[in-house]
Structure 1
Amino acid sequence: MRLFIFATIFIAVFGLMSLYISKRFIKKLHFKKRYKNYLNYFLVLNLFGVVGYMLFRRYPVIPNEIYFLLSVPIGIVFLLFSTAVIYDIFAYLINVSTKNEKRRDFFKRSLDIGSVAIAGTINAKAMYNAKHIELEEVDVKIAGLKKSYNIVQISDVHIGGLVDKKFIYSLVKRINSLNADIVVITGDLVDTNLKYAKEALNELKKLKSTYGNYFIVGNHEYFHKVDKIINYVNSLGIKVLENENIYIGQKGFGFNLVGVYDIFGHRYGSYVPDINIALNGIKNAPTVLLAHQPKYVEELKSTEKIDLILSGHTHGGQIVPFNLLVKLQQPYIKGLYQHNKTTQIYVNKGTGFWGPPMRLGASSEITLLKLKSID
């Protein structure tokens, strides 16, 4: 029922955005009626794509080529809507600031052509960006750390549909080239029924690191039988941290790695994050916490000594200007922040993508965190 309500609201929102694009953008263009009709037909096809995506997103039984055609309209409609809003603002400014009718008409036609060209360009650029994963190298200084460590972090891979076995094979190959001390996956690894994800997940058996590979669940795992996903990931030789900690490195020279369930567990009714349980029996050493959502910092107390938090969830906004909406719900969007005097937080922009295979203003990333002692 929850998924049905979400799908209904999601489709309704995109329907309203499409109506706005048609009435406030396409209708006002100084184009022949025939061309404006073509644009409206294209808009309707995109809306059907959004509906198709919601039908098949949990069960990717269709070929990837068709899945691509169903998923990309989400990004197209969102970017066209953003373009339409900006177009509306500039059209208004032209009308109120330009008294000469010929000059006003020239500016308006220029705006029309420019807006359509820019909309096409940014959509193409966003699709291009999603195909390329950037390596982000980040130096993090931690008090009390007696030895340097390299942590490779990936997050929000969203296996399912276009993120398949081939994608994970290539991802693992790149990670293994980084010679990590540990590899951490900070949630939203699986975004489909487990039986459709197993082939891609099996590629993760090939991950190589000195002290092991670790995973925490994100909110999307709760949508696809979180217990079964946890068991399967554990079977791959990847340790799922379930409100628990493990010591990394040689005795006296390492750090605590702590992992908690996602805060979505509060709504789910089980698999609830509990930092007190997670910190039980912790060693006297620097502490790195894996928590899927940056918002989890709001549940931490100042008495809990955590040196670094590694999160994901936000996708860095994935598509500008969606990052502005994400900022309303999460305290941090992407990159490294000093949360308080003792705690830093790093937010990974996501290694895969959710919904459309598009990214604009927030590249996909693999993070190489170089932990160093403070001199």
Structure 2
Amino acid sequence: MKYVPRVALFLAIPAILFLVPWWTLVGAPTEGTGLLFWLGTAVFALTFVGLPASMFLGHGPAQSDAASIVGDTLLGIAWVVFSWSVIGNVVGLGLAVGGVHDPARSRVVAVGVLAVSVALVVWGIIEARRVPRVRTVDVSIPGLGRGLDGLRLVVVTDTHFAALDRLRWSAKVVAVVNEQRPDIACHAGDLADGSVAKRHPQVDPLGKVDAALGRFYITGNHEYFGDAQGWIDHMASIGWQPLHNQHQTVTRNGDSLVIAGIDDPTGVGLPGHGPDLPTALAGADPHLPVVLLAHQPKQITAAAEAGVALQISGHTHGGQIWPFHYLVRLDQPVVAGLSRHGDHTQLYTSRGTGFWGPQLRVFAPSEVTVLILRSAPASS
């Protein structure tokens, strides 16, 4: 009986996702009768059962890659159709006020929702699977020495190597990173979904990233759904330095900067893990500016209190599939871009380099980020 609430919730979510689209695309335009009504209802019923079943087989104990691909794709399509069905019904209310009556009104809405949904799903798949665009942002850092002015810090994050084999995509991302001539390369977490044994071939091209002053990696929440320590060890084995509540001082032309990293908050469930900023900064020169890698934007609160100059985060994916960013915003202070927090701290939130789950990105393009650090007068 203790599992009944979880099962009910597991079934309630797809029920909500499918009920509104069913009414919009099948129930209302067919007036509940005819061959199209029964065929459409059968399709929705099969998908309603197939989504939770494939998600359980894909992400549950079985860890079936084939089921994961099916379930994730169905989830993404369901979200797109649900969102635009809601919008379509609002448009339908406007048509009703304008004097358009059923069944013509419902059929216009159904055709419009279907056309927009198909177009966005196709476009979203193309956007998700493409090599990310490069986004270049100048960041002014008070107290940054002139010898570090113009330092190029290239960020990838949320690669989420998973059931879909993206080995060639991984190699192309590495080529793009190297084309940016990074002084420092960073991976801000959510490296892969799954074990090192299953996913390391997709991750291994990252070993070819070339950054003169260092390559740094932190854990995201998804590492803690699997083998976080295994990924920390593997990234170290291919030449990246994990910052497991640690820091390193980098120097160029006689001036220095602290690069620190902390664990994702999800890590508190694993002994020896979990974010610990005081430990990460222990022994660092307090007069040097600090760039902090922290997977979730909401970790900015502690960073601002500690006087960190710049926090780099991912996690949000920019919402990934519009309008999901509105829900992300309920949990995180920022969804994407450069923002200021307190008097001395900035936060850059990447939309992510890959995608999680549904192979769709709608109005939330992926990115490889080049942060160019600029010297600025120290704040008073």
**Structure 2-normalised TM-score?**
0.88
> Which ranges in structure 1 are unaligned for 5 or more consecutive residues?
none
Q: Distance in 1 between matches of 2:136 and 2:213?
A: 20
224-233 or 350-359: bigger deviation:
224-233
| Partner in structure 2 of residue 40 of structure 1 | 41
Distance 1:12 1:108 in 2: 26
Q: Does 1:23 align with 2:23?
A: yes
2:27–2:37 CA contact under 8 A, matched in 1: yes
1:7 to 1:171, Cα distance in 2 relative to 1, 3 A: farther
Deviation for aligned residue 1:208: 0.8
Q: Quote the residue 1:167 is aligned against.
A: 169
Asked if the contact 1:216/1:240 (under 8 Å) is kept, the reply is: yes
- 1:67–1:162 contact (8 Å) kept in structure 2: no
Q: Which residue of 2 aligns with 1:52?
A: 54
- What residue is the counterpart of 2:89 in the other structure? 88
* Alpha-carbon offset, residue 57 of structure 1: 4.1
CA distance in 1, matches of 2:100, 2:14: 38
1:336 equivalent in structure 2: 338
Structure 2 distance, partners of 1:253, 1:117, is 57
CA contact (8 A) 2:320 2:360 kept: yes
Shift of 1:21: 2.1
Q: TM-score, normalised by structure 1?
A: 0.89
| Structure 1 position 322, deviation (Å) | 0.5
What secondary structure does 2:40 align onto?
helix
**Residue 300 of structure 2, aligned match among 287, 292, 297:** 297
Q: Is the CA contact 2:304–2:342 (under 8 Å) kept in the aligned structure 1?
A: no
Q: How many residues align?
A: 367
- Taking the aligned partners of 2:223 and 2:186, their CA distance within structure 1 comes to 16
Distance 1:7 1:124, change over 3 A: farther
1:129–1:358 contact (8 Å) kept in structure 2: yes
Q: CA deviation at 1:93?
A: 3.4
Structure 1 44/128 Cα, relative in aligned 2: closer, same or farther at 3 Å? farther
Gaps of 5+ in 2: none
Counterpart AA for 1:138: V
1:84 Cα offset (Å): 1.8
* Structure-to-structure mapping, 1:66-215, within 5 angstroms: 68-95=69-96, 97-99=97-99, 101=101, 106-132=104-130, 133-145=132-144, 146=146, 147=148, 148-215=150-217
Task: Classify the secondary structure of the residue corresponding to 1:264.
Answer: helix
1:15 to partner: Cα distance: 3.2
Distance 1:365 1:38, change over 3 A: farther
Query: Which is further off, 264-273 or 132-141?
Result: 264-273
Q: Using the alignment, how far apart are the partners of 1:269 and 1:131 within structure 2? A: 36
Alpha-carbon displacement from aligned partner over 1:10-45 (angstroms, at most 9, x marks no partner): 554123311332235421125883334443344345
Distance in 2, matches of 1:92 and 1:360, equals: 26
**For residues 143 and 332 of structure 2, what CA distance do their matches in structure 1 show?**
29
Answer yes or no: is the 8 Å Cα contact 2:155–2:368 preserved in 1: yes
Q: CA RMSD in A?
A: 2.6
2:13 paired with 1:13: yes
- SS of 1:254's equivalent in the other structure is strand
| Equivalent-residue separation in structure 1 for 2:57 and 2:105 (angstroms) | 43
Q: Is the 8 A contact 1:7 1:54 kept in 2?
A: no
The answer as to whether partners of 2:183 and 2:213 remain within 8 angstroms in 1 is: yes
Q: Aligned AA for 1:78?
A: W
How many Å separate the matches in 2 of 1:265 and 1:36? 49
